[in-house]
Amino acid sequence: METTQSLSLSELRDRQKDFSHRPGDHVVTWLLQCWDSGASSLELEGKESKQLGSLSREGGIDKAIGKGAPALSLWRRLLSGMKERYPFKEDVIYCPGKQTTMERGIQDLRELAMLEGIYDDLDQKQLSKDPDEVRCT
């Protein structure tokens, strides 16, 4: 049996800083940054996720992040919020920039894979939630 420990208010504020959407970043870029910062390993109950405040800077996503009482990973809450705010992949306009370096090209591929992964079925156990393992063409 797994137990979840509640976070203190100062720990929640630290997490808010770690996972807040920075102005100017595309929502897909922000999600990838959340993944890279460990959103999949942070389990939160509904009341804790509500205390994080506005992470995405989009009311529809933030409202969905705070839904539900059971403990879920922040990552799962973020993906659910994205799917609720943008029900169809076509609703998220993402245009990768010019790839001038290998690093930028890899970043663009990871962001495209992130966009694909958002719209996978969250309840399918065999599908990876890791954007680096999502099939992307």
pLDDT of residue 31: 92
Number of structural domains, the chain? Answer: 1
Residue 74 located in a structural domain: yes
- Per-residue confidence at 30, pLDDT binned at 50, 70, 90? very high
The answer to whether residue 39 sits within a structural domain is: yes
pLDDT tens-digit profile of 83-116?
Answer: 889 998 888 888 777 778 999 888 888 888 888 8
pLDDT interval class at 3 (50, 70, 90): very low
Residue 71 inside a domain? The answer is yes
* Residues facing 44 on adjacent strands: 72
Task: Flag whether 99 is in a domain.
Answer: yes
Dihedral angle at the C-alpha atoms of 27, 31, 33, 38, nearest 10 degrees? 160
- Residues 30 and 39: their CA atoms lie apart, in Å, by 11
Residue 66 counted as domain residue: yes
Long-range contacts of 122-126 (CB under 8 A, 24+ apart): 122/76, 122/79, 122/80, 122/83
pLDDT reading at 33 higher than 70? yes
Residue 3 domain-assigned (yes or no)? no
- Averaged pLDDT of the chain: 82
Per-residue pLDDT band at 129 (split at 50, 70, 90): low
pTM of the model: 0.80
Q: With 80 as the cut, is the pLDDT of residue 127 above it?
A: no
Q: 42 in a domain, yes or no?
A: yes
> 94 is in which domain, residue-wise?
9-118
